[in-house]
């Protein structure tokens, strides 16, 4: 992985000795690389699932499913007994853009093929789905719905009673300050309230990590490292994230190139078919010509044609 990062010109991970905030899972490559602004956070998501080992994961806002399937993949690879739920209207919003039913269909396809044993998709508005969860049951919550301040506060407050006494909440887009994004305001309030158990990654539009309750040791160490040397923690995950993004870019280029080859092959096939049809028509025309010139009538009228030719030449 470190060699891979260098080969892509992205530099090595800063830490030469093992550090508490990077583990084996941080180096995994996500399997389901669907379009998303979340690619760069997959390494941390893998690490977090390993560190927290939650019994229940809920995501508010899944769109194409990238962040959700990153968590599902970690659950599966680690052999955890985690129940996962993705909640989304799957109609889009003003920031993500509005989209068609094909998105929900493709997310369903991946879910059914890979994770249906422990994962369910809930097509609903967040506030309508909240009663499907027991109070105090969610150990990992990802909030990535609409991104205005009021929306983020509403989503957090609506699901707060559902959080277990020990839980982690991750917020996407905490480092976005334009286009009306206001998650950073909620994030600033949470940092003030929980100074010892909040940490923010600034790459990939920002990912805020909030720990609540009596956290497992890897998370206690993570927040301690985040307080002691935030730049080192950020730099490592920014580099790991950049590798995922670069890989996603290469995969996209590869699939675009493959699509171009298939398009050209289809066009060439159509041209070849047309050429074959033209050859058949040409052969038919030749056959007809031979048929006419070989015919008895043609031969019998030959003297007459010669007379006409001679008369024309005079
Ligand atoms: C930024 S996208 C999620 C991105 C996703 N986490 C990823 O990995 O790329 C936000 C999603 O939240 C959904 N959404 C926004 N507000 C919602 C609400 N109140 N109820 C249900 N879905 C909502 C939208 O349909 C959209 O698909």
Domain boundaries along the sequence of the chain = 2-254
Q: Name which of 206, 186, 182, 208 is nearest 197 in CA terms.
A: 208
Please give the pLDDT value at position 55: 98
Is 53 buried (19+), middle (13-18) or exposed (0-12) by CB count in 10 A? middle
CATH superfamily to which 2-254 belongs: Vaccinia Virus protein VP39 (3.40.50.150)
Structure tokens at 51: 């560190």
| 8 A C-beta contact, residue 211 and residue 183 | no
Residue segments in the chain with a per-residue pLDDT below the cut of 70: 1-17
Ligand 1 neighbours (beta carbon < 6 A)? 36-38, 61-64, 66-67, 88-93, 96, 125-126, 144-146
Please give the pLDDT value at position 169: 98
Report the phi/psi class of residue 79: left, alpha or beta, with left for phi > 0 and alpha for psi in -120 to 50: left
Please give the pLDDT value at position 187: 98
| Residue whose CA lies nearest to ligand 1 atom number 27 | 63
| Residue whose CA lies nearest to ligand 1 atom number 22 | 88
| Residue whose CA lies nearest to ligand 1 atom number 9 | 36
Please give the pLDDT value at position 285: 94
Q: Are strands 163-172 and 207-212 parallel, antiparallel or unpaired?
A: antiparallel
| Atom number of ligand 1 nearest to Cα 128 | 20
| 8 A C-beta contact, residue 12 and residue 52 | no
* Distance between Cα 223 and ligand 1 center (Å): 28
* Distance between Cα 243 and ligand 1 center (Å): 25
Please give the pLDDT value at position 66: 98
Q: Are strands 83-88 and 56-60 parallel, antiparallel or unpaired?
A: parallel
| 8 A C-beta contact, residue 105 and residue 86 | no
Q: What is the CA radius of gyration of the chain?
A: 32
| Atom number of ligand 1 nearest to Cα 70 | 8
* Distance between Cα 144 and ligand 1 center (Å): 6
The pTM (predicted TM-score) of the whole model is 0.82
* Distance between Cα 37 and ligand 1 center (Å): 12
Please give the pLDDT value at position 9: 44
| 8 A C-beta contact, residue 170 and residue 208 | yes
As a residue count, the chain comes to 314
């Amino acid at each position: 992985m470190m060699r891979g990062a260098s080969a892509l010109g992205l530099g090595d991970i800063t830490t030469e000795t093992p550090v508490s905030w990077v583990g084996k899972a941080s180096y995994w490559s996500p399997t389901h690389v669907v379009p998303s602004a979340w690619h760069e956070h997959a390494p941390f998501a893998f690490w977090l699932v390993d560190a927290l080992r939650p019994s229940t994961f809920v995501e508010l806002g899944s769109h194409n499913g990238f962040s959700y399937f990153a968590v599902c993949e970690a659950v599966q690879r680690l052999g955890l007994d985690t129940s996962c739920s993705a909640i989304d209207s799957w109609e889009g919003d003003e920031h993500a853009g509005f989209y068609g039913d094909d998105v929900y269909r493709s997310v369903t396809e991946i879910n059914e093929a890979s994770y249906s044993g422990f994962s369910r998709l809930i097509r609903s508005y967040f506030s309508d789905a909240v009663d499907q969860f027991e109070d105090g049951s969610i150990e990992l919550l990802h909030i990535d719905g609409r991104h205005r301040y009021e929306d983020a506060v509403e989503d957090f407050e609506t699901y707060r009673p559902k959080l277990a006494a020990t839980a982690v909440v991750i917020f996407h887009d905490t480092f976005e300050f334009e286009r009306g994004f206001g998650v950073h305001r909620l994030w600033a309030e949470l940092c003030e309230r929980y100074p010892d158990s909040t940490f923010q990654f600034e790459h990939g539009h920002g990912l805020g990590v909030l720990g609540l309750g009596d956290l497992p040791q890897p998370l206690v160490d993570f927040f301690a490292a985040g307080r002691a040397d935030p730049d080192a923690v950020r730099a490592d995950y920014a580099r790991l994230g950049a590798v995922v993004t670069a890989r996603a870019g290469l995969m996209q280029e590869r699939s675009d190139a493959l699509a171009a080859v298939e398009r050209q092959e289809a066009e060439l096939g159509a041209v070849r078919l047309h050429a074959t049809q033209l050859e058949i028509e040409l052969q038919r025309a030749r056959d007809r010509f031979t048929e006419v010139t070989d015919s008895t009538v043609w031969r019998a009228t030959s003297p007459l044609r010669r007379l006409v030719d001679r008369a024309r030449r005079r």
